[in-house]
Amino acid sequence: MFKFAHMADVHIGAHEDNKRLSELEIEAFNESIDTCVKEGVKFIIIAGDFFDKPVPELGQVKNIIKKLIKLVELNIPVYVIYGSHDYSPGQDSMIDLLEAAKLIIKIYNSKSVDGKIRLEMYQDKETGVKLAGISARKIGLEKAIFEKLDKEHLESQNGFKIFVFHSGIEEYLPKSWKDVEAVPINWFPKGFDYYAGGHIHKRQELNIQNYRNIIIPGPLFIGWGTKDYTDVAKGIEKRGFYIVSCENDKIIENGIKFIEMDKIKGEFVEFDVTGKRSEQANEEINKELEERNVENKLVVVKIFGELLSGKTTEIDVMEIRKRLTERKAIYTRINRNKLSTREFQKIKVLSEDKTKMEEEQFKANQKNIKPVNQSLQGREGIIKAQELLKILKESPKDSSGKNSTAIQSKITKSGIELLGISEIIED
């Protein structure tokens, strides 16, 4: 019997602008490694985004190196692939430096064979487990590797096999990740015993025909961005990693166990300003926050709705953040994406109405004049009329408020080009 650990999206360095979050980020990693050692794992997989950027702040790396050295001393290898954050096309990533120092093993190893990309499998010395992986690229460019992957070569390999990847799966993307570049499931090699994923910041456990035990652990700590902070503040997404127990080249029943890393508590405050003046909204928001326990917590404040009067900038974000800091909140995130004012809505409606009115008038004129030219009929004709109107609106005028002869000539030329006619026939 043996165990291995699987984590992803550690994102060391993601919170370097906040001392306490940065400390907790390191603590989460250190404690996860301590748990791995205590559980007696034979190896650890980090499925991408070990670091938040290719070369993170060195003070944070120093703390990580201490733990990696300890793992080397204990003969526990760490198998790593690039994530989209720590990937560097020039091989000047911290991943490459740690590999050169023999503290980790990068398992993405490929070559071109007959127009396909063939992955070489790495075999763990103690357990005999075979690992193959595809490193991520920026903006989903690893799809080109998946598309040309020699799957048959991987599928023909015997023994206990693990496939490591840092990509979303197209058919199984969480709703909040639908716009992310992803890979179709049939581009993955079939028949592996475990698929160690990363990249998607939402925990997933998938079992599909021909693709058993697809696991994406989500971030080890908070992650990064508004969605991650909100999920943690609401307490709807647990952070952590997996330990997998195996026997006789098989994962034992109920042998895939999620280990929660509960390093930070959150507080989520939602406030609707609809029908309120900006000064009233400020008062009520601060009153609501005064009643919340925010000490040592990550606080996300969502302010939304339509102000009765005042500007959105009059919602004093700086004051809100200052008060929360004074009450010892670790970090504050304020979301105002859905905040607007009545004045803004009026301007928006007027603008939309004006465009619509112009279009309706053009439709009516079409019926009345019945243009002979086919290009001026139907929807195409309306679009050309709108473009002509735009030309007229944007044409400068002289001191008398009229277009000069030169400007008139320019308008005429632009109109002829737009309508696609060669000349103007005069009576």
Catalytic residue among 6, 11, 15, 85: 85
Contact 228, 201 (CB under 8 A): yes
H/E stretch holding 298: strand 297-307
CA distances to 16, 28, 241, 367 from 53, rounded to whole Å, are 11, 18, 21, 61
Active site residue 6: no
CA angle 114, 119, 120 (to 5 degrees): 115
Contact 247, 222 (CB under 8 A): no
Measure the CA–CA gap between 76 and 46, rounded to whole angstroms. Answer: 13
The 8-class DSSP code of residue 177 comes to G
Handedness of CA 100, 103, 105, 106 (dihedral sign): negative
The string of DSSP letters for 131-159 reads EEEE---GGGTTHHHHHTB-HHHHHT--S
Contact 241, 32 (CB under 8 A): yes
Inter-axis angle of helices 405-419 and 378-394, to 10 degrees?
160
Contact 217, 7 (CB under 8 A): yes
| Residue 288 phi, psi (nearest 5) | -60, -45
Q: Which two tokens stand for residue 217?
A: 């652990």
Measure the CA–CA gap between 380 and 203, rounded to whole angstroms. Answer: 49
What SS3 class is residue 236?
Answer: coil
Inter-axis angle of helices 342-369 and 378-394, to 10 degrees?
120
Measure the CA–CA gap between 376 and 296, rounded to whole angstroms. Answer: 66
CA distances to 50, 172, 219, 226, 422 from 46, rounded to whole Å, are 7, 21, 11, 24, 67
Terminal-residue alpha carbon distance, the chain: 98
**Active site positions, annotated:** 85
